[in-house]
């Protein structure tokens, strides 16, 4: 089956990574997945939350948001609404725990890595693009710590990336854009390591229950996509040893 944008069912959207996109962050990446664009930045703070003080270990945390003009209908800023957006909170928690799962916090020392993911333009898959780009930004920030002599080695165990999969019109598809995502019968976001280990699966039967066979097929597609995303990360981080 050929999709409306010309891809086949097993094909990722075009991925473009622009590093050092901002001046002041320790690591910054603009990741583009088709028409979805997310700015991911990482900054190091030489302190940890109160619950970790004196333990000699570090912390990684994330924030996620969308610019008002990221979608066709203007999205009101949280500060204007006077309350947090539940979707944003859920996604930033996902990004934070994903990154913590691959960082050796004991080797990080008593410092915090702040990762901010800001959606400039949304066309489906913003959370998965944010995770994939956030890993690159985090690695760039850690690489600078090593260059400054603050760390002996980058305290990261493996790469991590994420991708969406789903069933649309009875067809299993990889990397859904907004049109496909909004029409999906089954919708999933999969987070995995470079070794194929699963960090998180967010899956929903949007319009109907799905079978074990469909789930297996979607996982196969996710693994296929994540292997490609990990290769892209590796190319962008070819100067970094970990």
Which residues sit in the known binding site for phosphate?
87, 125-127
Q: Is residue 242 a part of any domain in this protein?
A: no
pLDDT for position 1: 62
Instruction: Give me the pLDDT at residue 2, please.
Output: 73
pLDDT at 26: 97
Q: pTM for this one?
A: 0.95
- Does residue 203 form part of some domain? yes
pLDDT at 118: 97
Residue 7 in any domain: the answer is no
Whether 2 maps to a domain, the answer reads: no
**What are phi and psi for residue 128, nearest 5 degrees?**
-70, -40
The per-residue pLDDT string of the chain (242 residues; one tens digit each, 9 = 90 and over) reads 678 788 999 999 999 999 999 999 999 999 999 999 999 999 999 999 999 999 999 999 999 999 999 988 898 888 777 777 888 999 999 999 999 999 999 999 999 999 999 999 999 999 999 999 999 999 999 999 999 999 999 999 999 999 999 999 999 999 999 999 999 999 999 999 999 999 999 999 989 999 999 999 999 999 999 999 999 999 999 999 87
Q: Is the dihedral of CA 90, 199, 15, 165 positive or negative?
A: negative
- CATH number of the domain bearing residue 39: 3.30.230.70
> In this structure, is residue 4 part of a structural domain?
no
Residues belonging to the binding site are 87, 125-127
Q: Check residue 146 and give its pLDDT.
A: 97
pLDDT of residue 54: 93
Range of the domain at 140: 15-236
Number of domains in the chain: 1
In a domain, 61, yes or no: yes
């Amino acid at each position: 089956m050929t999709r409306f944008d010309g891809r086949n069912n097993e094909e990722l959207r075009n991925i473009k990574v622009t590093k050092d996109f901002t001046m002041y962050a320790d690591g910054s990446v603009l990741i583009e997945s088709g028409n979805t664009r997310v700015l991911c930045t990482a900054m190091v703070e030489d302190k940890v939350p109160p619950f970790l003080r004196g333990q000699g270990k570090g912390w990684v945390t994330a924030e996620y948001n969308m610019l008002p003009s990221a979608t066709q209908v203007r999205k009101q800023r949280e500060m204007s609404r006077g309350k947090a957006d539940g979707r944003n909170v859920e996604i930033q928690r996902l990004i934070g725990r994903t990154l913590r799962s691959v960082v050796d916090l004991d080797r990080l020392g008593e410092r915090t890595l702040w990762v901010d993911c800001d959606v400039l333009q949304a066309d489906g898959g913003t959370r998965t693009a944010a995770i994939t780009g956030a890993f690159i930004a985090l690695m760039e920030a850690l690489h600078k710590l090593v260059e400054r002599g603050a760390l002996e080695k980058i305290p990261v165990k493996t790469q991590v990336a994420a991708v969406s999969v789903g069933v649309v019109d009875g067809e299993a598809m990889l990397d859904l854009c907004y049109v496909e995502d909004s029409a999906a019968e089954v919708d999933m976001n999969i987070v995995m390591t470079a070794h194929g280990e699963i960090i998180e699966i967010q899956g929903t039967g949007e319009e109907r229950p799905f079978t074990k066979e469909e789930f297996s097929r979607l996982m196969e597609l996710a693994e296929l996509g994540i292997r490609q995303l990990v290769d892209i990360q590796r190319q962008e981080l070819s100067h970094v040893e970990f």
